[in-house]
Amino acid sequence: MKAISMSKQALVAAVFGAAGAGALVYAPALYQQADARQPISIEPPAGAPMSFADLIEKVSPAVVSVNVVSEREVGNMGNMEEFFERFRGLPGFDDYMREREEELEDEPQTREARSLGSGFFISEEGYIVTNNHVVQDATEIEVVLEDGRELAAELVGTDTQTDLAVIRVTESGPFPFVEFETDTQLRRGDWVVALGNPFGLGGTATAGILSADGRELGGNNPYTDFLQIDAAINRGNSGGPTFDLQGRVVGVNTAIFSPTGGSVGIGFAIPAQLAVTVTDALIQDGRVSRGWLGVTIQDVTEDMADAQGLEEARGAIIADVNPDSPAQSGGLQRGDIILSVNGTNTTDATSVTRLVGGLMAGSDNTFTVLRGGEQQTVNVTVGERPENPNEIASSNSDSTDKSTSDSAKDGPLGLSLRPFTDTDRRTLGLNADEAGLMISGVDSDSPLAQYDLRAGMAILSAAGAPLRSVSDLETAIADMKEKGRDKLLLAVRNGQRTLFVTADISEAASD
């Protein structure tokens, strides 16, 4: 079971499965009275349904249990580690164990692991949607249909970013299948039905409502937000479907929020709109190709919006642009605030990442940015997201040290500052011609003390203007005060990362 600790609660991925799906169900003659290729649709009742039985009966043939065998690495001492732990500290024992562990270092141990999950057919050819964590590292995959048949399946493709996977049964169809609902937006309070295989019990149905949408579960995953439902989801429901009252799949069950590991009425499902995009890519290419700009971005805060003259805090500000990246080639710059992508307004850094991630590599796209207080349009041909984009480092300069002596021991904003040397630029991973001021001291009453600024960091720009001298910073402060603003946007360099912060300049000297 995949769990993420959150205070005393836990997000528990239902590694044992749940199955189900639904919109239009194509079924062989066993499940239909008429043409096997004729879609079955379900007319939703007005108001609260008296029963979900008709819905569940129609879609259940498309839901499967997923049985997985995998190889998992274990400690070199295997299951004896806990036993030996009680003897730690006894005379001579630790030395003996250290020698044994060194002998076993080059002998990795693995064991066979079995897990259960859920899934559902999305085509008559036998393609099944499930969760990545259900089939991860699988050496054997078997699915169990509602009629009891056990069929071998093979992996088609997985996507760790969204925790989705597609498998396909090796036996020929046709199989009953369901479709995703991507046209209608669920509202809080709408009825939903979840099907799956909790705790390996077999086909189980639960019902509830959509509690919320757009949920973010934390972690470093900007590509997925979740539907929150109160239909019971437990271990084993992972990969199973959540349906609307017309038998259409609105979500893929993936996790629960629980203090005990069991359902407490807070379950999470991957939205159908995202699931259909990812599964289509997995079926076609076996992988998901995401658009990539090559920038580091952060949310725009209220103070940043005030400093830049924005009416509201929205969009994402570019903190860094990778060299030789699509963003650099297209003309995006550090300090640009991305307001829209292809006409779709952005709300924060996550929304920008999702919009860009949904673009096709090699496609031409229009970005509306705020630069220097004015909106501009920048056309960028996005690239394909590298497997490890964070490992792409900024270029360094080879130039020699040509330091200057223009420094401020008691400079503006309570900072002691001096212009860059070439050594500074190399240390900070900057190009040879980039401007900035090194911080050599910070007063305790500085308006920037809250950001934990310290000697060795640098300020690259103020209000979007590069800083080549202390007087440049003083000029930027004066300009903002003349415009009636009491916040100044600064680009701060810490190591090889840039972060934008705002300084309160309401009491700063402007002369």
Question: Going by DSSP bridges, is the β-strand pair 344-345/364-371 parallel, antiparallel, or unpaired?
Answer: unpaired
What confidence tens digit (pLDDT) does each residue in 183-203 have? 878 889 899 999 988 877 778
Of 65-69, 198-202, 299-303, 490-494, least confident by mean pLDDT is 198-202
**Structural domains of the chain sorted by starting position, each given as residue range(s) with its CATH number in brackets:** 2-39+51-67+117-285 (2.40.10.120), 291-391 (2.30.42.10), 412-504 (2.30.42.10)
Q: Of residues 285 and 111, which shows the higher confidence score?
A: 285
Neighbouring C-alpha atoms within 13 Å toward the C-beta of 222: 15
Q: For 437, which DSSP code?
A: E
Residue numbers in the known binding site for substrate are 133, 163, 236-238
Q: pLDDT tens across 452-489, in order?
A: 888 999 999 999 999 999 999 999 999 998 888 889 99
Q: What is the per-residue pLDDT for 405? A: 38
Distance CA 493, CA 508 (A): 22
Question: Which of 122-136, 153-167, 202-216, 367-381 shows the lowest per-residue confidence on average (mean pLDDT)?
Answer: 202-216
Query: Residues annotated in the binding site, as ranges?
Result: 133, 163, 236-238
Query: What does pLDDT average to over the chain?
Result: 80
Give the bridge partners for 19, in sequence order.
none
Verdict on whether the full-model pTM lies above 0.75: no
Q: Which residues are catalytic?
A: 133, 163, 238
**Residue 280: pLDDT above 60?**
yes
> At 212, is the pLDDT very low, low, confident or very high (cuts 50, 70, 90)?
confident
Task: Please compute the mean of the pLDDT values over residues 62-70 and round it to a whole number.
Answer: 91
Neighbouring C-alpha atoms within 13 Å toward the C-beta of 60 = 17
pLDDT band at 7 (very low <50, low <70, confident <90, very high): very low
- The reported pLDDT for the residue numbered 235 is 78
Q: DSSP characters for 282-333?
A: HHHHSS---EE--EEEEEPPHHHHHHHT-SS--SEEEEEE-TTSHHHHHT--
Instruction: Point out the least confidently predicted range of 56-65, 126-135, 146-155, 382-391.
Output: 382-391
The residues near 374 (Cβ < 8 Å, ≥ 6 apart) are none
Given this model, what pLDDT does residue 3 score?
Answer: 41
* CA angle (482 as vertex; 476, 487 as ends), nearest 5: 60
Percent of the chain with pLDDT over 90: 42
At 161 the three-state DSSP class reads coil
